[in-house]
Amino acid sequence: MVPTGGAGSPSTESARIVLTFQVPPEAAVSPTSWAFPGTEVGGQSSGKIFTFTNTGPVPVAVSSVQLGGESPSQFVLSANTCPANLPANNACSVTVAFSPTSPGSKNATLTFNSNAYGGPHVVGLSGMSVATALLSIRGPGKTYAEGHGNRQTLTISKSTSAKATFYFKVTNNVGIDRDYRIVADGFGAAADVSVTPEKKKTPLPLDAFGRWITPTVPGGGSITLAFRVDPTDLGQVTARHILRLLTPSGAEHDNAAFETNVQAPSKGTDGYGLYVKSAGKYAGGDLNGQTVTQEPAATGDTLKYTVRVRNDSAAAQSVLVKVQAASNLCWSISVKYKKADLTSAFLTGGYTTPSIKKGGSLSLAVAVTRLSDGCGAATWEFSTWDGPTKVHYSSILANALAGTE
């Protein structure tokens, strides 16, 4: 209190400070994460409701609710009741379902964007997609390897009449009859292709999207079909096609690749030829990037290949040969020349051959062994080198027997 005024007339003045506090918007979401049950490819799970609650005394401005993260397209958001302004002590909700279009583990996020304290509020979503139909590829001995991106190859003669036929099986693992759709994505050399019944050459009918329609596959059963390849440009290296097994709505159950190599001539014209052999025919030579396979392997099986190195240069030469080993712990490889084991040299930088005369060649015996279950196919690329320059390269491929991956 401070005296003011004249003598004998004391007075006082008081000061008042008014403080105003603005309460921030507050909100919470429930649940904060959700794992959907296993759902069939092409199917849709039951919807899960997620609730966004205004837990404070003032409105919350909700700008958007959206899916994001790694695989948002595998989830469906619906029944969004959240208004632009959510009143105090009120709640809104959205419904999310899992709708996978390909097999495997899927993850996404559900985000509530608002002006609430601590926002945005993010929900973690996950789901496991189950493929209920399988595509298996048949080896030369009529045993099958799983699809799952594995490959089967054939080496054909370089002639205008050369064709290749691959066989594959479609298995329906549910208890009701179904038909499927098949598409073929082509790469490399041009080719005419068709999918037919196993023992007929008449192509399967096409749907409105140009996809082959399989015959009805009984519940729990399977059918065998043929994929027929007629290369139209044999001057190219390889005709590769990825077959995709789809639901009628377009969701993918499985896939596998089929590759047609052109048989290499016995004499090359370019440096140090690298040939890979399967079923009595050599691929590779001057044509790079070709691959050969054998019968699918069970655990303990050993597959044998021949890799031939030819000196097509102008004089006798030693040739550096390398292998790029598969990063697959279920397989081992050994490489021998005559009786000498060269595996260690190949796996630690490469092997320099003895001098090969002009136009001459030597053959390497390659064996790969399946050590255990639990892994799929494995590939080893062999290559010849001129100093730091890779000259030619081709690969051997080992498939795993169906049901043992």
Shared-domain flag, residues 163 and 258: yes
Q: Judge if 162 and 117 occupy the same domain.
A: no
Establish if 210 belongs to a structural domain.
yes
* Domain assignment of residue 365, yes or no: yes
Among 75, 95, 130, residue at a domain's last position = 130
15 domain-assigned: no
Show the low-confidence residues of the chain (pLDDT under 70): 1-15, 18-21, 157-161, 233-237, 265-271, 326-327, 404-405
Question: 279 and 392: one domain?
Answer: yes
- Residue 18 covered by a domain: no
Statement to judge: residues 255 and 303 lie in one domain: no
Residues 330, 226: one domain?
Answer: no
Looking at the structure of the chain, the number of domains it has is 3
Together in a domain, 88 and 201: no
Q: What's this model's pTM, rounded to 2 decimal places?
A: 0.75
- Tens digit of each residue's pLDDT (9 = 90 or more) over 15-36: 677 665 677 899 999 999 999 9
Q: Is residue 94 part of a domain?
A: yes
Structural contact between residues 189 and 230, judged by C-beta atoms closer than 8 angstroms: no
Does residue 17 sit within a domain?
no
CB atoms within 10 A of CB 168: 25
393 & 357 share domain: yes
Clarify whether residues 297 and 201 are in a common domain: no
Per-residue pLDDT at 160:
52
Q: What per-residue confidence (pLDDT) applies to 284?
A: 81
Which of 220, 236, 262 delimits the end of a domain? 262
Asked if the structure places residue 72 within a domain, the reply is yes
Contact indicator for 361, 315 with CB cutoff of 8 Å: no
Q: Output the domain CATH number for residue 222.
A: 2.60.40.2310
Angle at 162 between CA 159 and CA 167, to 5 degrees: 160
Q: What pLDDT score was predicted for residue 235?
A: 56
pLDDT digits (tens, 9 = 90+) for 165-181: 999 999 999 889 999 99
pLDDT given for residue 7 in this prediction: 54
Residue span of the structural domain in which 159 resides:
133-262
112 in the same domain as 152: no
Task: Return the pLDDT at 5.
Answer: 52
Residue 113 shares a structural domain with residue 139: no
Q: Roughly how many angstroms between the first and final C-alpha of the chain, as a whole number? A: 90
Are residue 380 and residue 287 in the same domain, yes or no? yes
Both 101 and 70 in one domain: the answer is: yes
Domain-located, residue 3: no
Looking at residue 345, which CATH number applies to its domain?
2.60.40.10
Select from 87, 104, 130 the last residue of a domain.
130
Apex 73 CA angle, 241 and 135, nearest 5:
30
**3-class secondary structure for the chain?**
CCCCCCCCCCCCCCCCCCCCCCCCCCEEEECCEEEEEEEECCCCCCCEEEEEEECCCCCEEEEEEEEECCCHHHEEEECCCCCCEECCCCEEEEEEEECCCCCEEEEEEEEEEECCCCCCEEEEEEEEEECCEEEEEECCCCCEEECCCCEEEEEECCCCCCCEEEEEEEEECCCCCECCEEEEEEEECCEEEEEEECCCCCCCCECCCCCEECCCECCCCEEEEEEEEEECCCCCCEEEEEEEEECCCCCEEEEEEEEEEECCCCCCCCCEEEEEEECCEEEEECCCCEEEECCCECCCCEEEEEEEEEECCCCCECCEEEEECCCCCCEEEEEEECCEECHHHHHCCCEECCCECCCCEEEEEEEEEECCCCCCCEEEEEEEEECCEEEEEEEEEECEECCCC
